[in-house]
């Protein structure tokens, strides 16, 4: 687990989630509402301040219309 690579992957993950949300035309408030969480939750995971576990990630991906499989595949290549 190299530190720099770990960081790179996390950055990629966060960026992709933000992009997907915007591409879906959603605000953090709208996503938060669907997830039944406060807006700060969305702000934090997009900023990398809050890590998402596997299941949480899938829930988020569904709401923001992110292709989880494709992203996971890409992250594997980085690793």
Partner DNA sequence: GCGCAGTATCCTTATTAAGGATATTGTGTC
Partner DNA sequence: GACACAATATCCTTAATAAGGATACTGCGC
Ranges within 13-32 binding a second copy (CB under 8 A): 13
Shortest Å, Cβ 71 to DNA: 19
**CA pair distance 53, 30, nearest whole angstrom:** 21
**CA pair distance 64, 69, nearest whole angstrom:** 14
Structure token digits, residue 76: 């594997």
Instruction: Point out which residues bind DNA (CB under 7 A).
Output: 22, 27-29, 37-41, 43-44, 46-47, 49-51
**CA pair distance 13, 10, nearest whole angstrom:** 5
Single residue of 3, 10, 25, 27 touching a second copy by CB under 8 A: 10
Nearest CB to DNA, comparing residues 36 and 77? 36
């Amino acid at each position: 687990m190299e530190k720099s690579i770990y960081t790179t992957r996390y950055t990629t993950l966060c960026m992709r989630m933000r992009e997907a949300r915007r591409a879906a035309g959603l605000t953090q408030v709208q996503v938060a509402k669907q997830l039944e969480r406060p807006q700060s939750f969305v702000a934090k995971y997009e900023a990398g301040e809050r890590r998402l576990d596997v299941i949480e990630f899938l829930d988020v991906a569904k709401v923001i219309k992110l292709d989880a499989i494709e992203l996971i595949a890409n992250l594997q290549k980085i690793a």
